Structure 1
Amino acid sequence: MFDKERVCGGIAERVAAGGRISRDEAETLWNDAPLSLLAELACGMRHCKSGDVVYYNRNFHIEPTNICVFNCRFCSYRRGAGEPGAWNHSLAEIEEIVRARRDSGVTEVHIVGGVHPDHDIRFYAEMIRLVKRIMPQVAVKAFTAIELAYMIEKAGMGYDEGLRLLREAGMEAIPGGGAEIFDEELRARICPEKGSSQVWLSLHRAAHRLGIRSNATMLYGHVETVAQRIDHLDRLRTLQDETGGFDAFIPLKFRRAGNRLGEGLEEVPVTEDMRTLAMSRIYLDNFPHIKAYWVMYGKQTAEMALGFGADDMDGTIDDSTKIYSMAGAEEKPRLTVDDMQAMAASAGLRAVERDTFYNEIVR
């Protein structure tokens, strides 16, 4: 007879002692361990990595376009050219967005959007140069692996060559979007047109080889299984063992509003959000940080996540992203530094402002 308490307890002892768990052990914990035990283990790991610190930064997003050559079933953001709600900012419009925030004190500009059929790598390199001319002090974290692969291949370049061109323009880091779920069969169901898991992993491997730091994500809470989530985490852990180039992992909750995949689905409960955060912290033992992306979770759930292993909340945002609001999340995402500090304090932790690379900023 399977003794869940004994088996989970044995796995937990190894985690608490700093040991690495296998896929099978992760599945056992995910399915059978009490949530309180996962919280304890995840917070113990967070304390080993970050102490009592919760990180945040001052940032804003630029979303150049929501016109996209792909049509993923889970996406509420994408529009076709000419459809209601579609936009495609010119460089002059991007300049206006940046100038409006020039004196805001931000340290990072985050650029992601749709994969526009007409924009190549030189257009995006000029966009980065424009941002750096106006705000030379900020770090530019730009473009998902899927965006990068498309623009680089469109220009007839290899990944190394394209990434070097963007780095020379001023791109300093890569966000983690576009990963979704790596399982190939599931990808064929939810985003069949999109770049493969191998494209995503290869692009990040190339970036790390060139010294470009990046993050990683996982879209959970739709039609995937726990085993597929663990497979996703395992591929990330393996690449991190190889390169050491990831700074943070961000679990992204599927939101059902405004997309085809959400028809007939319910969003997973907050308890599953916390279980996913905690298991991400436990399994990804070689990732420095786990982020509770408050724009996607909402402020209250993000605050709760600090008790389940998360040590980063992302940034102030200043109502500059629509990707999750179009799917039913936070409508006008904006937090102040005081808000961030209060959220951390409520969890018994200390909020520390960071730059893109997790260096502390003292003002």
Structure 2
Amino acid sequence: PGGGAEVFSERVHQIMYKPKIGADRWLAVHRAAHRMGIPTNATLLYGHIETFEERIDHLIALRELEDEAPGFLSFIPLAFQPGHTGIVERQTSAIDDLRMIATSRLVLDNFPHIKAYWVMVGEDTASIALNFGADDIDGTIGEERIAHAANASSPLGLTRQRLLHLIREAGRVPVERDAKYNVITIHDEHADRPDPVPQH
């Protein structure tokens, strides 16, 4: 759990997604989940009508909640896909995406993971983002539909080999994980066959 945060700004809430719950309710749900021992994730939808100040306010609210009731596994900044919405003329640039990821890593120093979601920012930007504060670019994904319903230009899915290449191209070692970031397999830097994780 953890999607749907959009932007915590009430101004944006009233204009963009009034029927959805607001910031206070979203934060309350996650506070309760964390206190029950249920880990969650957090998102921010950026690149539409929000201001830079509203982005930072969103990050600070998440940081304060994690200090109060720890339990977030990761933060995923989601680049808005304009499609034919008419809300904005163009998608976020790679510079904006990388700036957002780097800022997230600096502000959310109490979050263990920052994800550069390749579906939203594209393969190349996601790879570069591994040197801008991100430590996760998500998985192969069989057939992504949400972003592509808004005409996302990224592929519907990636092969395992392509994903390994993107991570290695950034100078990183690919690590397969489960939903809670427990390590399953560490992939050797040069070999196609993975190295098994030692069992303790």
Q: TM-score, normalised by structure 2?
A: 0.88
Tell whether 2:175 aligns with 1:352: yes
Larger Rg: 1
Per the alignment, residue 11 of structure 1 pairs with none
Give identity over the alignment, percent: 48
Per the alignment, residue 211 of structure 1 pairs with 37
Amino acid of the residue matched to residue 304 of structure 1?
I
* From 293, 299, 304, the counterpart of 2:128: 304
Q: Cα–Cα, structure 1 residues 331 and 268, in superposed 2: closer, same or farther, change >3 Å?
A: closer
Query: Gaps spanning 5+ residues in structure 2: where?
Result: 186-195
Tell me if structure 2 keeps the 8 A contact 1:247–1:357.
yes
Correspondence list, 1:106-255, <5 A: 174=1, 176-255=2-81
* From 338, 357, 363, the counterpart of 2:161: 338
Q: Tell me the C-alpha RMSD between the 2 structures.
A: 1.4
Per the alignment, residue 323 of structure 1 pairs with 146
How far the C-alpha of 1:331 sits from its partner, in A, is: 5.9
Tell me if structure 2 keeps the 8 A contact 1:217–1:251.
yes
Correspondence list, 1:260-275, <5 A: 260-262=86-88, 265-275=89-99
Tell me if structure 1 keeps the 8 A contact 2:31–2:69.
yes
Equivalent position SS for 1:307:
coil
Q: Which runs of 4+ in 1 moved over 3 A?
A: none
Amino acid of the residue matched to residue 334 of structure 1?
G
The 2-side partners of 1:333 and 1:197 are apart by 31
The 2-side partners of 1:333 and 1:311 are apart by 22
Equivalent position SS for 1:279:
helix
Correspondence list, 1:69-88, <5 A: none
Tell me if structure 1 keeps the 8 A contact 2:116–2:129.
yes
By percentage of residues, which structure has more helix?
Answer: 1
Greater relative contact order structure (CA < 8 Å, 6+ sep): 1
Q: TM-score, normalised by structure 1?
A: 0.50
How far the C-alpha of 1:334 sits from its partner, in A, is: 1.4
Number of matched residues? 186
Query: Gaps spanning 5+ residues in structure 1: where?
Result: 1-173
How far the C-alpha of 1:232 sits from its partner, in A, is: 0.1
How far the C-alpha of 1:225 sits from its partner, in A, is: 0.8
Tell me if structure 1 keeps the 8 A contact 2:83–2:151.
yes
Tell me if structure 2 keeps the 8 A contact 1:186–1:224.
yes
Tell me if structure 2 keeps the 8 A contact 1:253–1:297.
yes
Correspondence list, 1:38-117, <5 A: none
